[in-house]
Amino acid sequence: MSSTSAVGPRRKIVGTSLKMYFDLTKTLTYAADLANISSQAAKHNIDLFIIPDFVSLLPVKDALTGTEVKLGAQDAFWEDAGAYTGEVSCKTLSQAGVSIVELGHAERRRLFGETDATAAKKAAAACRNGLVPLVCIGEKTHGKIASQAVGMAIEECRPQVMSLLQAIPDDAELILAYEPVWAIGASEPADPDHVVAVTQQIRKMAEGRKGLTRILYGGSAGPGTYDRLRQGVDGLFLGRFAHDIKNLEQVIKEMSD
Ligand SMILES: O=C(CO)COP(=O)(O)O
C-alpha cells in the first residue's frame, strides 16, 4: 500500500473518545496525563487526538495548551444556528478550539437514530466550519465464513462511505474510522486480516479525492493492535483500552516503529 495521497504523505493518527465513561474531574486528570505523553507522538509525526464530552471541551483545551494534541467533539448538529434545543453547532465547536468532529458512531446510530444521511449532513457542516469530520462506519454483524465476511462488510460500508463523500467537498480533509459494530466493546479487536481487507477496499472508495483521507481502525483496539493493520490503516481509534494512559503510550510507541 502506498502511504502517500494526492496531498502528500499521510501522517499517522491515533486518539481516543472518552464516550461518557469519565466525569469532569477524571477527564481533566486524563487530559493532563495525555499532555504529558503527547511529545512522544509529536516527535514521531503522529497526530494525537482526544474526544471528551461537550462540557469538558474547554477545560480540556486548557489542559492541552502547549501541546499538539487535537481536540475532538463526539457529535455536532448540521445547522450552524437556530432553534435546535440541545444541539451544538460546528461553528461554536470551532470557536471552542475543536478541530475534529466525530460522527455516526455505532452507539449514536443504535441509541439516537443517527443514519448515513444525518452523519453526511453533519459532516458537511463540519467541513463548512473548518472542522475535520471523523466518521465511523462498519458492518453490524460478523459474517461467520471469513471469505464471505469481508465481502459482506465491504458492501455494508460502501453506502456509508458514498453518502458521505457525496455530501462533503472533494478537497475536504476526512477521517474514516472503520469500526465493525460487533468488535466494539468486545474483549479483543477484529481479526487483522479482515480489517486490512476491508480497509483497503474502503480506501479504494475514496481514491482520487483531493482532500487528505485517513482511515482508522476502532473496536477493542489497544497495545498490539496496530502492527498487524499497517497495510490497511493510518492509525487507531481507541476506546476502553486507552483509559489506562500507559496503554495509549504503548500504542504510540508501537506506531512509532
Ligand atoms: O467505539 C470505539 C471507539 O470509538 C471503540 O470502543 P472500545 O475500544 O471500547 O471497543
For the record, the C-alpha cell of 222 comes out as 489497544
Give percent of the chain with pLDDT exceeding 90: 94
Model pLDDT for residues 129-161, shown as the tens digit of each residue: 999 999 999 999 998 887 799 999 999 999 999
User: Which of the residues 139, 156, 173, 179 is marked catalytic?
Assistant: 179
* Dihedral sign for Cα atoms in the order 155, 219, 236, 212: positive
At 81, give phi and psi (nearest 5°): -170, 160
Nearest ligand 1 atom to the CA of 19 is: 4
Is 139 designated active site? Answer: no
CA 137/CA 148 separation, integer angstroms: 19
What residues contact 247, with CB distance under 8 A and at least 6 apart? 222, 223, 238, 241
Q: Is 217 in the pocket of ligand 1 (CB under 6 A)?
A: no
Band (pLDDT 50/70/90 cuts) for residue 1 is very low
Query: β-pairing, 8-9 with 4-5?
Result: antiparallel
Model pLDDT for residues 67-83, shown as the tens digit of each residue: 999 999 999 999 999 99
In 51-145, alpha helices (H): 57-63, 90-95, 106-112, 116-128
CB 160 within 8 A of CB 174: no
Question: What local confidence, expressed as pLDDT, does residue 64 receive?
Answer: 98
Nearest ligand 1 atom to the CA of 242 is: 8
CA-closest candidate to residue 47, choices 73, 69, 71: 69
Q: Is 185 in the pocket of ligand 1 (CB under 6 A)?
A: yes
Question: What local confidence, expressed as pLDDT, does residue 145 receive?
Answer: 85
Complex ipTM: 0.99
Q: Is 184 in the pocket of ligand 1 (CB under 6 A)?
A: yes
Is 194 designated active site? Answer: no
pTM comes to 0.96
Question: What local confidence, expressed as pLDDT, does residue 146 receive?
Answer: 78
Please, which residues bridge with residue 132 across strands?
Answer: 100
Model pLDDT for residues 24-76, shown as the tens digit of each residue: 999 999 999 999 999 999 999 999 999 999 999 999 999 999 999 999 999 99
